[in-house]
Amino acid sequence: MSSSTVRKVGVVGWGAIGRVVGTALAEGRIAGAELVCIVDNRPLGEAAPARQVPFEEALELCDLIVEAAGQGVVREWGERILDSGTDLLVASTGALTDDELGGRLLAAGPGRVYFTGGAVGGLDLLQAARSMGPLDEVRLTTTKLPATLEQPWMDEELLTRMRNATGPVEIMSGTARDVPVKFPKSTNVAASVALAVGDLDTVRVQVVADPAADRTRHVVEASGPHGAYRFEVAHRPDPGNPATSQVVPHAVLRSLGALAGRTGQIL
Ligand SMILES: NC(=O)C1=CN([C@@H]2O[C@H](COP(=O)(O)OP(=O)(O)OC[C@H]3O[C@@H](n4cnc5c(N)ncnc54)[C@H](OP(=O)(O)O)[C@@H]3O)[C@@H](O)[C@H]2O)C=CC1
Ligand SMILES: O=C([O-])CC(=O)C(=O)O
């Protein structure tokens, strides 16, 4: 591959996801893509494998930005990234629960927006099934350690119930439109399922806190006129940030591998 076709990648967010993604890119583990810069809130020092730059400079240096920072970054910068001609790979899919923002991102360009499958599987098949017509029922049940689900909006009664739980406790049920807003760092998967089935309101989501959840579990169940589907995953959480499953940066790297255009990828 000539150097002119190598994707110049910037990583926004140097946390559980961004560090693994950025390190793999810097080590040349993704054919056709290289790390050119990092954007993060905190000074990263000498140990960072690429230059830390302000967001505006990243737009000039990169042709692909990986968002691994949070929904706020997608809201604040998504459109500018795409309008500058830079592609955007989004991890914080929950930002798309805002229809208005989703519409603007899909219409923006010339950069293109992509979403990683992240912590859930089966999205390719759900998208294929959905192309034959709407699904009748879609359910996601996410089970995590209670501490990873605590939120500033929770009242003392709910926090106490979560902290003292000896078994699974349902802490919210709603749709993929409602839930990722309430758990912005923990339930992006709900929005990802909704992106695949094309409807935020059809996806019913249950969030469960379980002190025994040493694995983060996501169960997707769907049915429609052409079949029934069930996908269940149980991930080891990232040790530094147990709200995020360890596999997520590797899902981002898989997406990057596909975007960098090498053959042999399962798309
Ligand atoms: N699609 C999926 O399946 C999943 C998606 N996610 C999404 O990915 C995001 C990142 O996850 P993870 O790596 O675990 O999170 P971390 O908290 O480990 O890392 C995020 C990093 O981004 C930085 N950051 C946040 N906002 C900004 C900003 N405006 N400008 C620059 N840097 C910023 C944070 O700094 P600071 O701490 O100082 O704010 C932190 O260093 C999550 O918030 C979530 O939205 C996560 C898991 C699964
Ligand atoms: O990593 C996970 O298992 C899921 C997650 O945090 C999210 O969807 O935001």
Residue keyed to tokens 């999205």 = 123
Ligand closest in space to the Cα of 69:
1
Helices (H), 27-66: 55-61
Token reading at 113: 């927006």
Q: How many domains does the chain have?
A: 2
Asked if pLDDT for residue 177 goes beyond 50, the answer is: yes
pLDDT tens for 35-52 read: 999 999 999 988 899 999
- Asked whether residue 241 is domain-assigned, the answer is no
- Asked whether residue 135 is domain-assigned, the answer is yes
pLDDT tens for 64-75 read: 999 999 999 999
* Domain that includes residue 176, residue range: 123-235
What ipTM does the predicted assembly reach?
0.99
pLDDT range class, residue 1, cuts 50, 70, 90:
very low
**Same domain (yes/no): 102, 134:** no
Q: What is the CATH number of the domain that holds 88?
A: 3.40.50.720
- Asked whether residue 71 is domain-assigned, the answer is yes
**Same domain (yes/no): 9, 112:** yes
- Asked whether residue 240 is domain-assigned, the answer is no
Dist. CA 184 → ligand 1 center (Å): 10
Average pLDDT over residues 56-79: 97
- Asked whether residue 242 is domain-assigned, the answer is no
**Same domain (yes/no): 175, 254:** no
**Same domain (yes/no): 211, 140:** yes
Q: Which pLDDT belongs to residue 262?
A: 73
**Same domain (yes/no): 189, 127:** yes
Q: Which pLDDT belongs to residue 263?
A: 78
Tell which atom from ligand 2 comes closest to the C-alpha of 243: 6
Share of the chain above pLDDT 70, in %: 99
The residues, any chain, with a CB within 8 Å of residue 40's CB and separated by 6 or more, are 12, 13, 14, 15, 18, 52, 69
Asked if pLDDT for residue 185 goes beyond 60, the answer is: yes
Dist. CA 100 → ligand 1 center (Å): 22
**Same domain (yes/no): 229, 254:** no
For the chain, counts of helices (H) and of strands (E) = 9, 11
- Asked whether residue 265 is domain-assigned, the answer is no
pLDDT range class, residue 266, cuts 50, 70, 90:
confident
Tell which atom from ligand 1 comes closest to the C-alpha of 19: 13
Contact status, residue 231 vs residue 120, Cβ threshold 8 Å = yes
**112-115 CB contacts, 8 Å cutoff, 24+ apart:** 112/82, 112/87, 112/88, 113/78, 113/82, 113/87, 113/88, 114/87, 114/88, 114/89, 114/90, 114/255, 114/259, 115/89, 115/90, 115/192, 115/195
- Asked whether residue 197 is domain-assigned, the answer is yes
Q: Which residues line ligand 1 (CB under 6 A)?
A: 12-18, 39-42, 68-73, 91-93, 118-119, 185, 188-189, 192, 241, 244, 248
**Same domain (yes/no): 182, 110:** no
Query: Whose Cα sits closest to atom 46 in ligand 1?
Result: 244
- Asked whether residue 23 is domain-assigned, the answer is yes
pLDDT tens for 104-143 read: 999 999 999 999 999 999 999 999 999 999 999 999 999 9
Q: Which pLDDT belongs to residue 38?
A: 98
Asked if pLDDT for residue 4 goes beyond 60, the answer is: no
Catalytic residues, by residue number, are 218
Asked if pLDDT for residue 162 goes beyond 90, the answer is: yes
Binding site feature residues for NAD(+): 119, 188
pTM of the predicted structure, to 2 decimals: 0.97
**Same domain (yes/no): 219, 255:** no
**Same domain (yes/no): 15, 90:** yes
Ligand closest in space to the Cα of 219:
2
Total length of the chain: 267
Average pLDDT over residues 216-237: 98
Query: What is the residue-averaged pLDDT of the chain?
Result: 96
